Structure 1
Amino acid sequence: MRRIGVVVNPIAGMGGRVGLKGTDGKVAEARERGAEPRAPDRAREALDELAHLDADVELVTPGGVMGATEARAAGFEPTVVGPTPDDAETTADDTRAAVRAFVDSGVDLVLFAGGDGTAVDVAETLAELDDRTPILGIPAGVKIYSAVFGVTPRAAGHIAGTFQRTAEAEVNDIDEDDYREGQVRTELRAIATVPVAEERQSSKQLGGGSVEALAEGFLDDVEPGVTYVLGPGSTVGRIKRGLGFVGTPLGVDVYRDGDLLARDAAESDILDAVGERNVVVVSPIGGQGFVFGRGNQQLSPAVIRQCDVEIVASRRKLDDVGVLRADTGDPDLDEELRGWHRVRVGRVERRLVELV
C-alpha cells in the first residue's frame, strides 16, 4: 500500500484571474476583487483521478480545507494528522506543520496543491528534517516555475498513484512584488526528490532569439474592429510595442482600433472589453510549452471561449518546448484545445505544433 500525504494551500492561485499575479500578501485584496478559492477544486480533480485508478493507496491529510474535505469528497477516508484550521486563512506555518506530521506518519509521497511558494514550504521542511520523501505538486498557483508539478491536476493524480522511480528536480520561486512590476528574478530554493514521469513539467526557462519578424507579420494582419487580448511575455510585448503602447510585461492588455481598452486586465475587465470578433494572443512558456494556465489565469475559460487563439513563438522556443500544453481549469476546454495549431514563427511562416 502507498501512503500519500495530501496538503492543500486553499488560498493559492486566488490572485490569478483578478490580475494580481500571485497571492503573497494579497489575499484580502484578491477577495475584494471577487476572487474565489482555486486550489481546493484543483486538488479534488487530482484526487478524483487517483480514485479512478483504484490503486492501493491510503491518504493522510490535515483536517478541513487543507486536505480532508477534498479527500472525502473524492471518496477516500483519510487519516487526519497535523493542523485543522477553522477557515481558509491558512499560513505557510500550517503547510510546514502538515509536512512534519506526514514524515512522522511515514508517508511515501507528499502531494500538495499550490504554487511555487507552497513547493518551497514543502521542500524546505523536508530538507530541515533531512528527509528525502518524494514530493509532487498539483498546479494551483499563478506562477509555477518549479519542476515538481504535474502538467495538470489529473496528471498529478495519475502520477501519484502509478510512479515507480524518483529523481531530483529544482524548486524555484520569484519575488511576487517584483513580478507585479514586470521583473522576473528566479531563485533556486531547494532540490527535491520527485516522481519520474513524462507528465511532470520542466523547470521554466526563458526563451531567446529575435521575434522582430513574427511581430511585424502579426502587425501586418491586424484587422479593424477586432479586439486583441494580448497575453504576457516578451514575445507578445514586442507586438504591443508595435501597436503603439507599452504593455504590461507580465499582465494582459486589451486593444482595438488604436485604443488600449484595458491595461493589466483582470478576467472581468477582459470580458467587459471584448466585442463581436476577438483574438487572444499568447506565447508558450519557454521550457514548458504552456499557452494557458501558467501566469495568465486572467485568460479564463470564459475569455478563451469568446476568442480565436493566435499563438506566436520564435523557432528556438518551439524547438525547446517540443509540444504545447494548456491547463485552463476546464477539462472540456483543454480537450477542445488539443490538436495541431499553426504557430506564427516569422513574418509569414507558421509551424504546425501539437497541443497535447
Structure 2
Amino acid sequence: MKLGFIVNPIAGMGGKVGLKGTDGAEVLKRAIELGAYPEAGIKAKKALEVLVPYKEQIEIITSPGSMGEEISKEVGFKPIVIGKIKDTTGPKDTEMAAKEMIHKGIDLLLFAGGDGTARNIYNAIGNKIPVIGIPAGVKIHSGVYANHPRAAGEIALKYLKGEEMDVKEVEVMDIDEEAFREGIVTAKLYGYMKVPFEPDLIQNQKSGGIEGEEAALDGISDRIIEDMEEDVLYIIGSGTTTRPIMEKLGLPNTLLGIDLVKNKKLVASDVNEKEILQYLKDNKAKIIVTVIGGQGYIFGRGNQQISAQVIKKVGKENVIIIATKKKLMSLGRRPLLVDTGDDEVNKMFNGYMRVRTSYTEEVVHMVKGL
C-alpha cells in the first residue's frame, strides 16, 4: 500500500503565543519573534510511529525535509521523496505535494496541520482519495482530523491493512484568521473529503452557538465570581461560555484569547504562554476553561496558550471546568478530552472531574487524556 505523508511544519506555531493561527508570512514572523517553535513534526511523528511495525509493507511517498522526509526516516521508513528542499514552505508547497502524490498512485494521504492545511489538501485533490488529518494546528473545525496524533496513525494502519471500515465524506471548514483575532468567528464550508471513519478516533466537527442558554450562563458566572479567592490569579479561558464572567466583573474580555484576573481586576489581556508563565512565578493560580461543543476538548484546541507547562504549574486540582448542560449533552456519552501534546499531562486528567453547569449544580463527567 502507498501512503502519502505531508507535514505542514509551521502549523500550530501561533497557538501558544496567542496569535490564533499561523496563516501568512507576517503572522509567522511575529510568532517566531514571540518565541514560537515548530511542533507539528512532533505530533506527526507520534502518528507515524504507529505504522512502524508494518514498515516493510507500507511505501511512504513524502515531501523533502521538515515536510515529511526527516520524520519518516527518523522512525525507520525509507520514503520516496518528491520535490525539492526549501528554506521556507507555504500553502502552494502543500498543494503541489498532494497533487504529485496523487500522480504517484497513493492509496491514502496522511497529513499534519490545521484547517488551513486541510483546505490546501482539498484544493489540490478534492475527494479523489481518502485522507486523515493529524491535528497540529490552532484552528481545527474540519471533520477530517483524528482526535489525537496516535489515533491518526491507528486509522491509517487499519485502512492500509484492509480492515473493514466505512469511508465517509466530511466537511472541510476554515475561518477568517484576521476576523478571528478580532473576536469574530466566521467559519466557511469549502467542500468535502473522504475519511476512513472510526467513530471513537475521528474528531467531531465543532458545534457552536449558545442561544437559549443565557440563564445557565448567568448562574455559572455568578457562582464563579462568588467563589473567587483573594490574591489568586485566575486564568480565564477563551469562548462564549467564559465571557459572562468578565462581563459581570465589568472587565474587557478577549473572546478568543486568554485573560488574567486577580482580586476581580484585570491583570493582563490576550496573553500568550510565555506571559502566563511569567505571572505564575509570583502567584497561586486557577484555570477556568469550558468545553468545545460537539467535540469535548477542554485543553488543546483553541486555548494552546494554556500549555502543558502552564497546567503543570497550576495543577489539575486548580482547574475549573464550566459548561451548560446543553453543551455536555451535545457530546452524547463521550468524555471530555485533553490533548496538550504532553503525554504526562494528558494522562493526569484521566478519570472524572466536576463541571459547573449552573449556579447550584455541578455534574461529574469522564475526562480522557489523549
Both proteins in one fold, TM over 0.5: yes
Q: Match for 1:232 among 217, 224, 238?
A: 238
- Take 1:207 and 1:199, find their aligned partners in 2: how far apart are those partners? 25
Deviations 1:41-76 (A, max 9, x none): 111111112225778322110111110101111111
Deviations 1:170-228 (A, max 9, x none): 00000000000000011001111001112110111114222111111111111111110
Whether 1:79 and 2:91 are equivalent positions in the alignment is: no
Whether 1:347 and 2:359 are equivalent positions in the alignment is: yes
Change (3 A) 1:180 1:52: farther
Deviations 1:105-151 (A, max 9, x none): 11111111100000001012112xxx520111111110100000011
AA in 2 matched with 1:85: I
- Take 2:304 and 2:75, find their aligned partners in 1: how far apart are those partners? 25
Matched position secondary structure for 2:143: coil
TM-score normalised by length of structure 1: 0.95
- Take 2:157 and 2:71, find their aligned partners in 1: how far apart are those partners? 17
CA contact (8 A) 1:169 1:193 kept: yes
1:1-356 paired onto structure 2 within 5 Å: 2-25=1-24, 26-51=27-52, 56-81=57-82, 83-87=83-87, 89-127=88-126, 132-163=128-159, 164-197=165-198, 198-208=200-210, 209-210=213-214, 211-274=217-280, 275-307=282-314, 308-321=318-331, 322-356=334-368
> Which consecutive residues of structure 2, in runs of 5 or more, have no partner in the other structure?
160-164
- Take 1:161 and 1:355, find their aligned partners in 2: how far apart are those partners? 26
AA in 2 matched with 1:234: T
1:354: Cα distance to partner?
Answer: 0.8
CA contact (8 A) 1:55 1:161 kept: no
AA in 2 matched with 1:310: I
Matched position secondary structure for 2:241: helix
- Take 1:273 and 1:162, find their aligned partners in 2: how far apart are those partners? 45
CA contact (8 A) 1:63 1:85 kept: yes
CA contact (8 A) 2:95 2:120 kept: yes
> Which consecutive residues of structure 1, in runs of 5 or more, have no partner in the other structure?
none
**2:162 alignment counterpart:** none
Deviations 1:325-345 (A, max 9, x none): 111010111111121110000
CA contact (8 A) 2:251 2:265 kept: no
- Take 2:279 and 2:35, find their aligned partners in 1: how far apart are those partners? 18
- Take 1:332 and 1:50, find their aligned partners in 2: how far apart are those partners? 22
Change (3 A) 1:319 1:187: same
Change (3 A) 1:347 1:121: same
- Name the count of aligned residue pairs: 350
Matched position secondary structure for 1:102: helix
Deviations 1:224-252 (A, max 9, x none): 11110011001111112222202100000
- Take 1:7 and 1:155, find their aligned partners in 2: how far apart are those partners? 17
